[in-house]
Structure 1
Amino acid sequence: MSTENNGIGIFEKWLSLWVTLSIVLGIVLGQIWPDIFSLLTSFEYAHVNFVIAVLIWAMVYPMMVSVDFGSIRHVAEQPKGLFITLVINWLIKPFTMAALGVFFFKFLFIDLITAPDADSYIAGLILLGAAPCTAMVFVWSQLTRGDANYTLVQVSINDLVMIFAYAPIVAVLLGVTDIPVPWGTLVLSVVLYVIVPLLAGVVTRKIILSTNRTNKAISNFTAALKPFSILGLLATVVLLFGFQGNVILANPTLIIIIAIPLLVQSYGIFAVAYFAAWFMRVPFRIAAPCALIGTSNFFELAVAVAIGLFGLNSGAALTTVVGVLVEVPVMLSLVALANRTQIYFPRK
């Protein structure tokens, strides 16, 4: 059996297929039972939909249990990899994503979409670009035989930075692109979908370690929850496309239009991070994960914030879901590229 098959489960390996099927199911159900979808949107408070909130927590909580802030003390062992990750994730990626959004939706595709829709799609891209990967990067790291402990350090530090930086960066970029910034909802979304599940993950981790002092117990716990996490994501996609069905059916090329800047961003960011790691002589076991974590997105958070800020039937929410659709095949192609080019990196 190949390394790829060993390193990635059936849910993750075929995630794009499950998402595609969920899109189809959502569109069909939205046409058959529109009243049910309307009823589900009514369960909300302060622009937070309770049904979606439960599904998002089901997605995010298991990966937060894996975060180990104690691993941060190992950061000095290989500072170059962490430096590349932080620069890419917080100083480059959000801004290039916003720039690509403006270029494609304000200029290149200007005759294909309306101005309000363009703003909404740009907002979705910004929410994706400012959210570095938290969970799936462990899969990509494993498929490249990366340093698991160092990957954990990168994820832990990124989560710490995200608590303080995500909302301000998103607000700045939305303001630059002339999109109104609902500050209250933005901050509430970060609290609900980053801080609360992160604290819950930290408490859960301490409880597990207090009763069974091995990281294996944590791995078993998160593995048991993983199917629920994926199901939460797929259920969210069904709901989103139940509302977006009429828009998609009226303009079936919309998915492709949204996917193009996402593809350009993904391959471009990987090229920058991977070349920087090669230039700085970072060992491959760290270089590959640090480039992949900069390329991948925390799409669960982006989906949640897009729904909270702009609504279930918004173009921003649709854009974040298209990000889920393209994520897995793009990342698997980059994993394959990294494995084929590892001979150009130091081994130790």
Structure 2
Amino acid sequence: MGEESLGIFEKYLSLWVIICIVAGVALGHFIPAFPQLLNRLQYASVSLPVAVLIWLMIYPMMLKIDFSSILRATRNLKGLTVTCGTNWLIKPFTMYLISSLFFLGVFSQLVPPDLGREYLAGAVLLGAAPCTAMVFVWSSLTRGDPAYTLVQVAVNDIILLFAYAPIVAFLLGIGNISVPYDTLILSVVLFVVIPLTAGYLTRRRLLRTRGEEYFRGFLRKFENITVIGLLLTLIIIFSFQGAVIIDNPLHIGLIAVPLIIQTFLIFTIAYLWARAWRLRHDVAAPAAMIGASNFFELAVAVAISLFGLESGAALATVVGVLVEVPVMLTLVRIANATRDTSLNDINLFFEGRY
């Protein structure tokens, strides 16, 4: 994606993201009544205002899906193998190892052992929950195949229902883990089922009654909706966490280190794996993005239910939200910069020699 083809929102997206994060933190810190009001508008630990904004981000992508292509996407077994293999056989375990190394080793002089174990728990809760909603945004920014992105999200959601609790229990040695299935199911309905249904019905009706040319013009009206929705979502999310972030600056930075390393590692594994198998870029990019990003709504809800609102585990999941967007935007740039390169060129890119 060349710079000349980008609009003002996409071209300076990193700047807008930083501004919105700062604005959200300031809003929550100086006007606490705002997040308190929004906090009442939630159900099953899912913020309804945030859900509406995420719906606005996802809906335009759903409009682009030729639903006859979904069946073809399910035949791309290599792409689904990369996604599922990275998310469920690699990601939770590398998150545990990297987080243990830092929280219980490298940072042991700065973080008390009990608190370090809580941070480790929060990191594992993030690592065992691949992204459900925001991956549609990252896929769109990398011009990913929307039908494939939908299929991989659906497959991950099914696996998540059965694998999340056992993996977390195994890694943390915690028995009787209670997964808030109302949060999980509601998130899937809000972030996948509703926008998918709305996109399908809209596309079908407009193509049937107005034709292809009108439909393309209709799509152009949503060009900036996804990015605007992302920015407004950040303001709301970080208004909830303003006091937590301001009160814990050192530990925010310490927690961020293994999370950032893990995100880059998982993206690199999935992306190089996909490119080594010669998958198209519009499949390889979203396959890497879904593993690199996290289902933070679920992770935050589980951390609070298991360890409490004021726990280190809950703080770690919040930091996951803090670092995810800037890091994922960096990965979007890497994916776009390597769109037309060979596997050898990609290796040189990661080594800094391309």
Common fold by TM > 0.5: yes
1:329-348 equivalent positions in 2, closer than 5 A: 329-337=330-338, 339-341=340-342
Q: How many residues align?
A: 329
Gaps of 5+ in 1: 143-147
1:1-348 equivalent positions in 2, closer than 5 A: 3-5=1-3, 8-75=6-73, 79-113=77-111, 114-115=115-116, 116-128=118-130, 133-140=135-142, 142=143, 151-175=145-169, 176-178=171-173, 181-183=177-179, 185=180, 187-204=181-198, 205-213=200-208, 221=218, 223-225=220-222, 227-277=224-274, 279-280=276-277, 282=278, 286=280, 288-297=281-290, 302-310=295-303, 314-315=314-315, 316-337=317-338, 339-341=340-342
How far the C-alpha of 1:229 sits from its partner, in A, is 3.8
How big is each residue's C-alpha offset from its partner over 1:242-299, in whole Å with a ceiling of 9 and x where there is no partner?
343333334434454344334433433344334434544x26xx1x344322331489
In the alignment, the residues of structure 2 paired with residue 274 and residue 54 of structure 1 have an alpha-carbon distance, to the nearest angstrom, of 31
TM-score by length of 2: 0.74
Identity %: 27
TM-score by length of 1: 0.75
Structure 1 residue matching 2:2: 3-state secondary structure: helix
Cα 1:337/1:111, change in 2 over 3 Å: farther
Cα 1:112/1:38, change in 2 over 3 Å: farther
In the alignment, the residues of structure 2 paired with residue 220 and residue 263 of structure 1 have an alpha-carbon distance, to the nearest angstrom, of 39
In the alignment, the residues of structure 1 paired with residue 252 and residue 70 of structure 2 have an alpha-carbon distance, to the nearest angstrom, of 39
> What value does the CA root-mean-square deviation take over the aligned residues?
3.7
Cα 1:218/1:166, change in 2 over 3 Å: farther
How far the C-alpha of 1:56 sits from its partner, in A, is 3.5
User: Which residue type is aligned with residue 26 of structure 2?
Assistant: V
How far the C-alpha of 1:216 sits from its partner, in A, is 6.8
In the alignment, the residues of structure 2 paired with residue 27 and residue 234 of structure 1 have an alpha-carbon distance, to the nearest angstrom, of 13
Gaps of 5+ in 2: 347-354
Question: Which region of structure 1 is more displaced relative to structure 2, 124-133 or 106-115?
Answer: 124-133
How far the C-alpha of 1:326 sits from its partner, in A, is 1.2
How big is each residue's C-alpha offset from its partner over 1:283-324, in whole Å with a ceiling of 9 and x where there is no partner?
6xx1x3443223314899724334544569842133123211
In the alignment, the residues of structure 2 paired with residue 121 and residue 155 of structure 1 have an alpha-carbon distance, to the nearest angstrom, of 25
